[in-house]
Amino acid sequence: MPRPKSDSKFRVFMQENLLTMLTVIGVFAGGLVGFIIKNSTGDWTKREIMYISFPGEIFLRMLKCLIVPLLVSSITSAIGGLDLSMSSKIATRAIAYYFITTISAVVLGICLVTSIRPGQGAKIVEKRMESVDKASKVLTPDTLMDLIRNMFTDNIIQSTMFQYRTEIYENTSLPQPLPMEEWDFKPAQREGSNVLGLVMFSVILGTTIGRMREKGQLLQDFFTTLSEAMMTITSWVIWISPLGVGFLIAAKIIEMDSIAATIQSLGWYFITVMLGLFLHGFGTIAVIFFLGTRRLPYRFIAKLSQVLATAFGTGSSSATMPLTIKCLDGMGIDPRVTRFVIPVGATINMDGTALYEAVAALFIAQYREMSYSFGTIVAVSITATAASIGAAGIPQAGLVTMVMVLDTVGLEPKDVSLIIAVDWLLDRFRTTINVMCDALGTILVNHLSKKDLQKVDRLNEEPHELMELGANGHDKE
């Protein structure tokens, strides 16, 4: 007896969306368990919280392990598989999209914070934190120059583990303290992959392989195979995501001092940032996507729900990158576009971070009752855009770059401590928007590049077809 069609459709739907539903359930279950534990028991020690987050930490470590080999192999194979003119067209479209969305995010954030004015009348308990003190000991010129230094790495192996950073330190032997601009400085290496350097190296290597044609085919095959192997490993790892994400969120909620008190003290600031992220993600980006594709993005966003849930849970766009590529491959996006646009986007496109930093800087200025001119707002816009490009795709990387933006307004870097209480939560929301923007940008660039990609495919097939015709003609003779 044949099964009803409705039953088969339901089974297909469950097979296609089971992982997505499990991940979303993991997010809500983690949050619910975290609230219940926090409200029903006493204070938890750091070690007890570490035990709770352990499964999530293992999941995050597995994802981060894939970043470097996947990033290098994906970009190199994607660029190497295209000719120079085609890769430059895709790169131009992607960078133009990222630039427009980042500027739009900053402008939207500034419009919201200047109209809502959340800093007026806010009562915030100021805290001193070691991480804030460390972040405050940087200068904006040094940060910008370090960004460029990291792009042009002097050791590609070292770039897989460390980033270059200029450290400044005060000479305590002097009778009078000097301003920070006159402090001594030294080069240092900060732990964490130098993603910008790896991206730059991969783009140059891929371009070189593409120009070498037949001679570079062996290298091209190697990087293509490596990329496919990394995606296979990713397909295994993603089945742990519901469990890992749930434990990460539960541990973070238990760790908070008082959720209600935090939201109450920073309520209007929290609402302003959240409103900005929502309007940008489902308004600005949707309009840009529609203008480019003549289609609304919400159907695609629904298909990205598992990726977005993972981005929220991990708070890292880089860690989510393997899942994003896997999901877009399943949606039929050209792998050459996906493997170039997503790694670059995870590195330089931080719309949520740019919006957040612009809002945060002007919020603190309002809280300190400091007046600011239109020129200051323009300066904040430019600095927030530059800072978002330099922010690493890891949780709470915006802390250091936030110092740059505050310095532009003329505020004390230690004022970052005013908003640090809700930074972890907002960080997850802005990471989700960053990842969504990258994914929609990839779909948009793929749509705009379809004809060019088909032309490249035809050119690549022509020699093979001519050879077959010649062989057939010879047989007939």
Q: For residue 433, what pLDDT is reported?
A: 92
Give strand pairing partners of 191. 162
User: Do the beta carbons of residue 436 and residue 422 sit within 8 Å?
Assistant: no
Residue 385: strand, helix, or coil: helix
Instruction: Output the CATH code of domain 15-126+140-454.
Output: 1.10.3860
Q: Phi and psi dihedrals of 166, rounded to 5?
A: -90, 120
- pTM flag (> 0.85): no
Q: For residue 469, what pLDDT is reported?
A: 42
Residue type, 57: E
Residue 296: strand, helix, or coil: coil
> How far apart are alpha carbons 259 and 450 in whole angstroms?
48
Q: What is the pLDDT along the chain (477 residues), one digit of tens a residue?
A: 555 555 677 777 676 667 778 888 888 888 888 888 887 777 788 888 888 889 988 988 888 888 889 888 988 888 887 777 777 888 889 989 998 998 999 999 999 999 988 877 666 655 544 444 455 566 767 777 887 888 888 999 998 888 888 888 777 777 777 777 778 888 888 777 887 888 889 989 988 998 887 888 899 999 999 988 988 888 888 888 888 888 888 888 887 766 666 666 678 888 999 999 999 999 999 999 999 999 999 999 988 988 998 888 888 888 888 889 989 988 999 988 998 889 888 877 788 888 888 888 888 888 888 877 777 788 788 777 776 765 554 444 555 667 767 776 777 767 777 777 777 778 889 889 999 999 999 999 999 998 888 877 776 665 444 344 444 544 443
> How far apart are alpha carbons 176 and 208 in whole angstroms?
55
Residue 138: strand, helix, or coil: coil
Q: For residue 445, what pLDDT is reported?
A: 94
Q: For residue 284, what pLDDT is reported?
A: 94
The count of other CB atoms within 10 Å of the CB of residue 121 is 9
Write down the domain spans for the chain: 15-126+140-454
Q: For residue 249, what pLDDT is reported?
A: 84
Q: For residue 87, what pLDDT is reported?
A: 78
Longest dimension (CA), the chain: 98
Q: For residue 96, what pLDDT is reported?
A: 92
Q: If you write DSSP's letter for every residue of 249-276 in order, what string do you get?
A: HHHHHHH-S-HHHHHHHTHHHHHHHHHH
Q: For residue 460, what pLDDT is reported?
A: 64
User: Do the beta carbons of residue 430 and residue 352 sit within 8 Å?
Assistant: yes
Closest of 410, 430, 418 to residue 364, by C-alpha: 418
Closest of 82, 65, 100, 99 to residue 339, by C-alpha: 82
